[in-house]
Structures are given as C-alpha cells and as structure tokens.
Amino acid sequence: MRTEESKTASTILYSLLIFLTFIKVEARNYKQVCSSSSCGEINNISYPFRLRGDPSGCGDPDYELSCVNNKTILEIFPGKYYVKNISYEDQVLRLVDVNFANANRSCSLPSGSVENTDGFVTDFRFKGVLDSLGSRFRFVKCSRNISSLQEAANHTTVPCLTRNGSYVYAVYDGEYSYYNPQPSCSVVSLAPVDLLHDINYKFPSYEAVMELLEAGFFVGWSLECRDCSLAGKSCVVKSWDKPLTYICERENKELTRSQGNLIIAGIVVGGLIALLVIIGILVFFVRKYRTRRNASSSTEKN
Ligand SMILES: *[C@@H]1O[C@H](CO)[C@@H](O)[C@H](O)[C@H]1NC(C)=O
Ligand SMILES: *[C@@H]1O[C@H](CO)[C@@H](O)[C@H](O)[C@H]1NC(C)=O
Ligand SMILES: *[C@@H]1O[C@H](CO)[C@@H](O)[C@H](O)[C@H]1NC(C)=O
Ligand SMILES: *[C@@H]1O[C@H](CO)[C@@H](O)[C@H](O)[C@H]1NC(C)=O
Ligand SMILES: *[C@@H]1O[C@H](CO)[C@@H](O)[C@H](O)[C@H]1NC(C)=O
Ligand SMILES: *[C@@H]1O[C@H](CO)[C@@H](O)[C@H](O)[C@H]1NC(C)=O
Ligand SMILES: *[C@@H]1O[C@H](CO)[C@@H](O)[C@H](O)[C@H]1NC(C)=O
C-alpha cells in the first residue's frame, strides 16, 4: 500500500515536471516566433519594430509604432510622424510629419524637433548613419517684415503663420551651415528634408516648400548606437557592409586622480617586487659562490 502511494506520487511529480518543461519550451518558442505586423501600406513591421498591441516580447519597446486609420505612426522627438517606408537593409525609416501630410496641409510648424540647431538627430534611438546628408528648412520668426531685404531673398514667407507683428519664414539649408538669423528674427523650428541638388530651391515658393516637407525625410535607426547612447557614449560605424554595424566610440577620458594614484601605487609595488626578486637572485648566487669557495679552500687546506 505504501509503496503504491509513493509510486503514484512520484508519477504525478514526474509528469508535472515534464509538463512544466514543456510549457517553458513552448513559451520560449512563442517568444521567438513573432510574425511581422502590418498596418496600411506598411506590411512588414518586424524586429526591432513592433506595433502597439503586439505580444510583449515581439520587437523592441523602444521602437514601437502605432496604427491609426491604416496609417503607421511613430511618436518621437517629440512629434508625430507617418511611417512611409521601413528598410531593414539600409536601417532607415521614411517619415512625414503629420503636420505636413497631404490631408493635413493646414499650415503649421513641425510637430516636433527631429534635429537640434546643429542639424543632428536628437533622439537616441535614431542615431544611425544615412546614405546622404540630409538638409532642412529652418522656420524663422521675425518681429518685422524682412521680405524686401536683399539678405533675406532666401526667406520664403509662410503666409498662414504670418500676422501683424509676427512674420514667419522658411529658409532652406542644404549643408550644415551656420545660420545667423537676421536682426529681429529667431529660429523657432527645424524640419528635415531631402538634400536638393537643384539650385533653384535657394528661393523656393511656399508651394515648393510644402511639397518638400510633404515628401518627408529619412532617419537611420541603430540598436547598437542606442545602447552606446544609453551608456553615455557615441557610436561609430564598424562595418559599412549593409546592414551597417556600429561600435561604441572608445572614450579617451582623462584619468581621474584616484586612477592615477592607483597606477603610481602599482608601479611602486611592482618595482619593489622586482627589486626583491633581483636581491633574492643575487643572494642565491653569492651564497652558492661562497659555499663553493669555502669547499675548495677547505680541500686546499687538507
Ligand atoms: C520583411 O523584413 C524582413 C527582415 O526583417 C525581410 O527578411 C523580408 O524580406 C521583408 N519582406 C518584405 C516583403 O519586404
Ligand atoms: C484598413 O485597410 C483594410 C484593408 O487593407 C480595410 O479592410 C480596412 O477597412 C481599412 N480600415 C480603415 C479604417 O481604413
Ligand atoms: C520602400 O522602399 C523600397 C525601395 O527603397 C521600395 O521598393 C518599396 O516599394 C517601398 N515601400 C513602400 C511601402 O513605399
Ligand atoms: C493632423 O494633425 C493632427 C495634429 O496636428 C493629428 O492629430 C491628425 O491626426 C492629423 N490628421 C491627418 C489626417 O493627418
Ligand atoms: C512684407 O513686405 C513685402 C514687400 O515689401 C510685401 O509684399 C508683403 O505683403 C509684406 N508682408 C506682410 C505680411 O505685410
Ligand atoms: C541666405 O542668404 C543670405 C544672404 O545672401 C546668406 O548669407 C545666407 O547664408 C543664406 N542662407 C542660407 C541658409 O542659404
Ligand atoms: C497691423 O499693424 C498696422 C501698423 O502697425 C496697423 O495699422 C494695422 O491696423 C494692423 N492690422 C491688423 C489686422 O491688426
């Protein structure tokens, strides 16, 4: 009776163990098999991207997109952008600011600031390198009408944002050039656009400005660069074979005082040890030599 009971118990335990192992394996498999998600024209949303509502564990939470009315949306920088294309090969996204999208040409400033005033992407998740340098429109607000100034010929008036006492202009910047605003003006926002090779865009019409903004821009993503950023480092390209790989830039930080002291202490201790070893060797040989001499002298005496 007793052995019967223990037999049953062990059988139950054993099956439980197998069952648990099975569940574990299943869970792991489940996590690994994340089918790509789809939203409107973007039908290939996969790692590192995830769509809001995807099973947790699919994609990286840092790269979450949402789907609203069949439009894929990325909220960053902070701002709202339609995702027009995802290239896993080039590791780039094509984005269009919702404020400049076709259906929304209500005339407004960019919804966020993708770049800082130096033209560098601010978000730590999108520090990837792009094939070509981007360019941008700077939105400039002035307290007086500068349209007639010769120096402001490349300033395109944004009519709907211009009202008495406040004049808003868009200025195209094809390079990372230093922009010195006119007196009475200041930069209020930046919007990236593709680099243009057509010189006529130096003085674009407002319609041309809007077309460019509506066409969107690229940002490059990189998980490696994100991780470098989180560690307080910048990243550099390790291999230019696509998809690009990056490594964190080695910091050549100056040594702190305690680190310096440690190194000095290490040298001193190391030197002392070396000295002791040399003395030891010397003593050993001197002793050997002496005993030999003593031995030979004693034989001489005899
Ligand atoms: C979707 O993306 C994966 C990489 O994540 C790629 O291997 C696959 O070819 C893509 N499919 C299409 C239809 O673009
Ligand atoms: C989204 O697209 C699918 C098919 O592509 C369609 O059946 C659905 O009605 C669309 N939804 C909206 C809100 O447009
Ligand atoms: C994304 O871009 C690739 C080429 O870069 C193109 O072949 C593809 O059709 C684009 N996809 C969408 C949804 O626009
Ligand atoms: C227009 O822009 C607003 C925010 O400025 C956004 O909430 C809305 O979804 C946009 N609509 C379209 C159709 O893009
Ligand atoms: C600014 O000045 C230009 C030229 O002097 C003029 O054509 C334009 O109407 C003025 N704009 C506003 C908003 O007053
Ligand atoms: C706009 O024109 C002025 C005067 O010609 C020039 O100094 C400035 O660099 C130009 N700005 C850009 C962004 O090209
Ligand atoms: C704009 O300013 C001018 C002078 O400062 C004034 O005469 C005019 O009435 C103002 N217009 C509006 C619409 O406020």
Give the residue whose CA is nearest to atom 8 of ligand 1. Answer: 44
Higher pLDDT, residue 43 or 10: 43
pLDDT at 254 over 60: no
What pLDDT was estimated at residue 6?
Answer: 55
Domain count, the chain: 1
Asked, for residue 164, whether it belongs to a domain, the answer is yes
Q: Is the CB of 99 under 6 A from ligand 4?
A: yes
Q: Is residue 138 part of a domain?
A: yes
pLDDT tier for residue 261 given thresholds of 50, 70 and 90:
confident
Contact (CB, 8 A) for 194 and 217: yes
Summarize the confidence of residues 227-251 as an average pLDDT: 89
pLDDT for the residue 158? 93
Q: Is residue 142 part of a domain?
A: yes
**Cβ(44) to ligand 3 under 6 A?**
no
User: Alpha carbon 140 to chain centroid distance?
Assistant: 29
- 3-state secondary structure at position 115: strand
Q: Report yes or no on 267 lying in a domain.
A: no
- Residue 172 resides in a domain: yes
Q: Helix or strand or coil: residue 193?
A: strand
What is the residue with the minimal CA distance to atom 6 of ligand 5? Answer: 147
CA–CA–CA angle 138, 140, 143 (5° rounding):
175
Q: Domain span at residue 145?
A: 37-248
Least confident window among 62-66, 78-82, 243-247, 290-294: 290-294
pLDDT at 24: 43
The answer to whether residue 23 sits within a structural domain is no
Question: Is 69 a domain residue?
Answer: yes
Is 45 among the domain residues?
yes
